[in-house]
Amino acid sequence: MRWWRRQPSMALTRRRAAQYDVLMGPKDDEQVLGDDIGRALRLKGFCTIKTLGLNTTIQEARQEVKEMSTAGRFQPTPAIVIDGLLGDEGSIRTAELAAEQELCASLAKLDAVLTNMATTVGSSLTVQELGLNVGGRTPGLVHEAGMLTWDPPELSQDCVVKWLNTFIWQRLMLILCLGPGQGTLEMTPFDEDSNVHRVQTEAGMLVVLRADCLWHKHSVPGGGTHVLSCFLQTCGRSSGQSVAYEPPKIPIAQTLDNWALEKLEAAVEDPDSFEMLDSRWKYAVEHVYHKEQQFAVRGIGIKIASTWDSEAFFHSMNGGTDIVTEVPHARWDHRMYYSEDPEGWKYFKVNVNHTALCDGMELFDAKFFRISPAETKGMDPMQRQIMEIGYVSLATAGRTVKNLLQSLTAVYVGCHLTEWPMVDQGPEEAGGCEQRSAGTGQAGSIMSNRFSFVFGMNGPSVQFDTDASSGLAALETGTVALDERKTNATMSMCMGVAVTLTPLTWIHRVGLGQMSPLGRCLSFDQSATGWVKGEGGVAVAVDNLTEKVDGVSVIDDRYYLGTLGTVKINHAGQQSTLGTPHGPAVQLLIAEACRQGHVTPCSLDAIECMCDGQLMNDAVEVASLRRTCCSEPRIPLGLSSFKSNYAHSIQGSSLAQVLKSLYCQAFGWQQPSLHLQAINPQIDDVVEDGTVFVNQDCITNSTKSSLYSVMSIGWGGTMGNAICSCGVDPTRVLPTQASYPPEPMVFWPGGGGEDFPEPPSGYFIIGSWSAWAEHERMTREAPGIWSFVVTLGVNRFEEFQIYYDGDPDFALHPAEIAGSSGTTALGPSAGAQAYRWLIDSRVKLYALQDEVPKPEGAQTSSVVLPSKSKVENVYESTAGMGDRYLVKLSIAGKWRAVSWDKVESPKQTVVDTGKYYLTGAFNAWDYDELDKSESTAGLFTKELRLVRGRADFQIVRNKDRRQVFHPATAGDPGITANALGPDSSGQGQCWSAGGQLGDVFELQFQRSLERGFDERSLSIRCIRHEDLTEEEVFLARRPRYRIVGTWDGWQGKEMTWTGNRFEHFVQVGTVGMESFQILEEGSWNRCLYPSEANASPHDDHTLCYGPSPGDEWVWTIGAHESEEGSAGVRYEVILEVDRYGAPLRVFWNGLA
């Protein structure tokens, strides 16, 4: 049998020198080292480490630093940045260690030490719990200390970009002192109250400090002293953090940010200054400031394959939903038109068997649109969709039937020539009309005109058909109509729609090789053979984002999904053949769109491409976009195409692309394209440098504000490009935080703030070792330092609080139920008995099964954690019993903390002096002491008589609910002898003694501390029967109530029955308030509590019954204004019941 030992993490137990927190040698365990550093960082924000075995390397590194200085590698530190490093005396000149530098071998070794330290600290769970998620480090930086005798150089654009990014994401700073001289490291928290704390530095000292909350400054007498440093950073936003997450800016980062904003504002006002900016600064300007009128998309209407909901349309693409299916028989029998022959188009067959069609095309509310049923039956289905989709977009924008009449609402519809005449349908299906679409004929203009007619709108009403760019043509015209100088329209409804009624219109497209027999639109893929016909319509209601008020542009705060910067339409011009892709025309279009929208192409974050699966067209488009948008250094440009999800609805596609882009900006990410297995070789040559990439996953944008471009190219050469310029919608994406938000320091040795008055009689400690009965004075080691040695008893853990001046109503306590070493001391306060510090050294021993011998030569794997299949048993070791810990209370101004260290001294002999009690439903969870055996060590017995039915019970040591012994499962009848505990995790897990009323059981509880194990067992046996008396039967019928409250740490006491009610007397403590609940039969599952928090008899509330909802729903004496000044007053708490003992109300009376 083998043993595996598990012990909880304890306080700092490593070797330490006088002025150091940790000694670090080359063979130290990295996990222990990281946890020690983490505890020091949590306590005071920095950790001083003495490095062992680096003296020779440091001496050689100093010589290399001299050679670097001679070679001119050191540069003066720029202004402002110097304050974020080591101050104007610690960083007068700096030199960054280059990766290719071969002459600095010793400095490279020391830099590797910092890298190892970064790994050690970053992998420490203690550090991660502080919210210091370390994902990388900055290059090593050598600092020269001395007196600054020159003016620091001014900041440059490159310098600000570099250091602002560093200071925003920095979390820790590593400082390795190279010497040769000694210096002083001054550190100050960012708050205004705290004082400076100084640490003396020397060669070989390594300091880890929290750069996210400390100013740091290094100085030396004279000069010639150097340090090597780096910052440990998070790698941008971590998993689960949205683009709306903003890391807190430290003061130096805020100063740089303000400097940058001033430069950006100046560049906005001065075009010459703007042209002097590099691409990164132009990117920032154009994402923050907009020069021209923006257009707000205030309403959306959509009908597209699989959904009529715009949000569902967007979210379906996050997971890569493929909407394309085979042609459904409900629309037409495609077997009549399908042939696998690629030349089948010559005899009116198509080799395409797939499409993406809308549901509910036959549905239409004719009454709402005031159209007769007879006319409706003969109406072109595309007209129906225009009516419904268009009205939904206007209605969501606030334009309804009531206010559309005679309004200047423009209607621009992009759609194709109707397919309705090609449908084989007789007069009966046409509503009795021999001529379908009676009254309108086949005029294309009717598509938009009917919509304006139905609602009586006086704005422009125009139809467009420019193939795939029809929707953008409608949108461009709609934005122009909003020009305030012309007042053609106050709102534009722009729509792109396509309805598929017959495959006969596919024939010429198949003949041109545009449609894919594969049944999918393989955008960007080398196997692309064309597109698949889709169906759907998207309508957007657009108006101006701002309006003029007294000559000033004011944003209209009505809801809008997103904003459009500009829409540009042009034609490819003359080329080899009609429909041939023309790269220069694409480049000109996007360049002109960006110029018109006052943005540079390099500032675009993503482009929703045309890319419809035609191999050459896709390659020409991507190459043209890269040539135009990647002419300067920039972040990678993301490309995608929604047609790989929803097929190509031609006239209905471009506005669907716009809608997708607006939603992507509102949520702050880019969506993937589908079906990309091997990239088009012509595209691969374009994207190989990494400036352009094809999205294959949901990717978070780098900034909250973003610029998206939408590209659409019609077969006849009409092309459109829209610039979507908006940011994350705060109602959709909340600013998420890190898994562990950065925690502040617990204690600052320099002090600061209002001094905490020292008690006249000192501080006293009280804990579980004395059963909370006696407090003991702590020793005053120095001003602000109080200590006490705690010896762990038989439980191998102890809990404690600290009393200010020995007063229980002025207790110092942690913020947690079980506070650990190095935590803040809160208080002094009363009613905080549940909050205690916990010193825990319990050890579990796992007995592991012997493994089957492995074949010779097989590798043996080491067991890190025991698997359940290998564990034979788990034992509680007595290791830790008698260990001594020095508890230290540190006070410096407003800062207070409690920590402890293990005292390396011979263990003390420990004797179990505790008392054990029986508690359960039979005594309303009060305490009946067990009888200690005089003959057998560790044996306790008690007789239990059943008076109220089955008795559920537990064993409690010293009446402390944190020291409960219980079975592994609830309702254990005592068959399994093992007892778990002592702990506080056994709520609801009780032994159960069942039998007849009057049965008497003997309970034997045995606790043995021999052989190095803490073994507990309990046995139950029935020894006799005693009939109940009439009085016992009568009393058993009356319920019992136990009151639990803040005055005794929620321990509870049974209320007294007076003959007609239950009562209990409470004396209010020095705080002036006491809170309580009442438990029937002492059970937390049968709790009486008020319907309002902190209720009183003076407030309206009801009496509730059930499981306890928590500490908030309580009655509170002294909370009402009529009970002010209740400190020290004695109250009688009364529970009124009916004749059956059911509770009626709770109230209290003050006693003289």
Domain ranges of the chain: 22-236+249-255, 284-291+565-729, 763-844+879-903, 916-1034, 1038-1151
Q: Does domain 763-844+879-903 bear CATH number 2.60.40?
A: yes
C-alpha span between 515 and 533 (Å, rounded):
8
Give the number of C-alpha atoms closer than 13 A to the C-alpha of residue 245, restricted to the C-beta side: 17
Contact by Cβ (8 Å): 144, 94: yes
Ramachandran quadrant class, 647 (left: phi over 0; alpha: psi -120 to 50; beta: rest):
left
Residue 629 has pLDDT above 80, yes or no: yes
Residue 236 has pLDDT above 80, yes or no: no
- In this prediction, residue 547 carries a pLDDT of 85
At residue 376, what are phi and psi to the nearest 5 degrees? -65, -40
Q: Which residue has the higher pLDDT, 874 or 369?
A: 369
- In this prediction, residue 292 carries a pLDDT of 80
* CATH level 2 (architecture), domain 22-236+249-255: Sandwich (2.60)
Residue 587 has pLDDT above 50, yes or no: yes
C-alpha span between 830 and 179 (Å, rounded):
52
Residue 435 has pLDDT above 80, yes or no: no
Q: Does domain 916-1034 bear CATH number 1.10.3720.10?
A: no
Q: Spell out the residues 6+ positions from residue 240 whose beta carbon is closer than 8 angstroms to its own.
A: 736, 739
Whether the bond into 1039 is cis, omega within 30 of 0 = no
pLDDT-derived band at 429 (thresholds 50, 70, 90) equals very low
Average pLDDT value for residue range 575-598:
89
pLDDT-derived band at 1051 (thresholds 50, 70, 90) equals confident
Least confident interval from 14-23, 593-602, 856-865, 1030-1039: 856-865
Burial (Cβ within 10 Å: 0-12, 13-18, ≥19) of residue 224: middle
Q: Read out DSSP for 49-73?
A: EEESS-HHHHHHHHHHHHHHHHTT-
- In this prediction, residue 591 carries a pLDDT of 95
- In this prediction, residue 829 carries a pLDDT of 85
Residue 1 has pLDDT above 80, yes or no: no
Q: Helix, strand or coil for residue 1056?
A: strand
Average pLDDT value for residue range 815-824:
90
Q: Spell out the residues 6+ positions from residue 1044 whose beta carbon is closer than 8 angstroms to its own.
A: 1050, 1051, 1052, 1076, 1077, 1078, 1079
What is the per-residue pLDDT across 1008-1037, written as a single tens digit (0 to 9) for each? 988 788 889 999 999 999 999 988 888 888
Q: What percent of the chain has pLDDT over 90?
A: 60
Q: Spell out the residues 6+ positions from residue 911 whose beta carbon is closer than 8 angstroms to its own.
A: none
Instruction: State both tokens at 429.
Output: 């299906």
Average pLDDT value for residue range 425-439:
43
Least confident interval from 310-314, 470-474, 700-704, 882-886: 700-704
Contact by Cβ (8 Å): 748, 895: yes
C-alpha span between 693 and 626 (Å, rounded):
10
Q: Which residue has the higher pLDDT, 864 or 552?
A: 552
pLDDT-derived band at 688 (thresholds 50, 70, 90) equals confident
Q: What percent of the chain has pLDDT over 70?
A: 91
Q: Which residue has the higher pLDDT, 78 or 852?
A: 78
pLDDT-derived band at 1082 (thresholds 50, 70, 90) equals confident
- In this prediction, residue 830 carries a pLDDT of 78
pLDDT-derived band at 987 (thresholds 50, 70, 90) equals confident
The candidate with the shortest Cα–Cα distance to 836, out of 764, 767, 763, 743, is: 767
Residue 1149 has pLDDT above 60, yes or no: yes
Instruction: State both tokens at 44.
Output: 């005071």
Q: What is 284-291+565-729's CATH topology? A: Peroxisomal Thiolase; Chain A, domain 1 (3.40.47)
**Could you check whether 284-291+565-729 and 916-1034 share the same CATH topology?**
no
* CATH level 2 (architecture), domain 1038-1151: Sandwich (2.60)
C-alpha span between 167 and 232 (Å, rounded):
10
The candidate with the shortest Cα–Cα distance to 174, out of 118, 106, 108, is: 118
- In this prediction, residue 1113 carries a pLDDT of 92
Classify strands 705-713 and 699-700 as parallel, antiparallel or unpaired.
Answer: unpaired
Q: Helix, strand or coil for residue 933?
A: coil
Give CA angle at 939 (933, 945), nearest 5°.
Answer: 85
Average pLDDT value for residue range 1125-1135:
91
Residue 891 has pLDDT above 90, yes or no: yes
The candidate with the shortest Cα–Cα distance to 185, out of 47, 341, 308, is: 47
C-alpha span between 796 and 227 (Å, rounded):
45
- In this prediction, residue 431 carries a pLDDT of 37
Distances (CA, A) of 581 to 36, 366, 718, 749: 65, 43, 11, 71
Distances (CA, A) of 529 to 137, 525, 611: 47, 9, 12
Tally of CB atoms within 10 A around 1084? 14
Average pLDDT, the chain: 87
- In this prediction, residue 235 carries a pLDDT of 65
The candidate with the shortest Cα–Cα distance to 490, out of 404, 603, 590, is: 404
Residue 885 has pLDDT above 50, yes or no: yes
Whether the bond into 742 is cis, omega within 30 of 0 = no
- In this prediction, residue 274 carries a pLDDT of 82
At residue 560, what are phi and psi to the nearest 5 degrees? -150, 145
The residue type at 1049: G
Distances (CA, A) of 222 to 86, 88, 111, 203, 225: 16, 14, 26, 16, 8
C-alpha span between 445 and 1117 (Å, rounded):
78
Contact by Cβ (8 Å): 1072, 1129: no
Q: pTM for the whole thing?
A: 0.77
pLDDT-derived band at 590 (thresholds 50, 70, 90) equals very high
Residue 414 has pLDDT above 60, yes or no: yes
- In this prediction, residue 44 carries a pLDDT of 94
- In this prediction, residue 368 carries a pLDDT of 93
Helix axis angle for 279-288 and 251-269, nearest 10°, is: 80
pLDDT-derived band at 466 (thresholds 50, 70, 90) equals very high
Q: Read out DSSP for 687-753?
A: HTTSSEEE--S-EE-SSSEEEEEEEEE-TTSEEEEEEEEEE--TTTS-----SSPPPPPS--TT-BS
Average pLDDT value for residue range 208-216:
94
- Tokens 């459904």 belong to 328
Contact by Cβ (8 Å): 532, 353: no
Q: Which residue has the higher pLDDT, 17 or 179?
A: 179
- In this prediction, residue 739 carries a pLDDT of 45
Q: Spell out the residues 6+ positions from residue 496 whose beta carbon is closer than 8 angstroms to its own.
A: 413, 414, 415, 470, 471, 472, 474, 537, 538, 651, 652, 653, 654, 655, 656
Average pLDDT value for residue range 277-283:
83
Instruction: State both tokens at 257.
Output: 């940010």
At residue 231, what are phi and psi to the nearest 5 degrees? -105, 140
Least confident interval from 362-366, 369-373, 573-577, 652-656: 573-577
Instruction: State both tokens at 1086.
Output: 């049968």
Instruction: State both tokens at 449.
Output: 């005109």
Which residues, in sequence order, are bridge partners of residue 1148?
1133
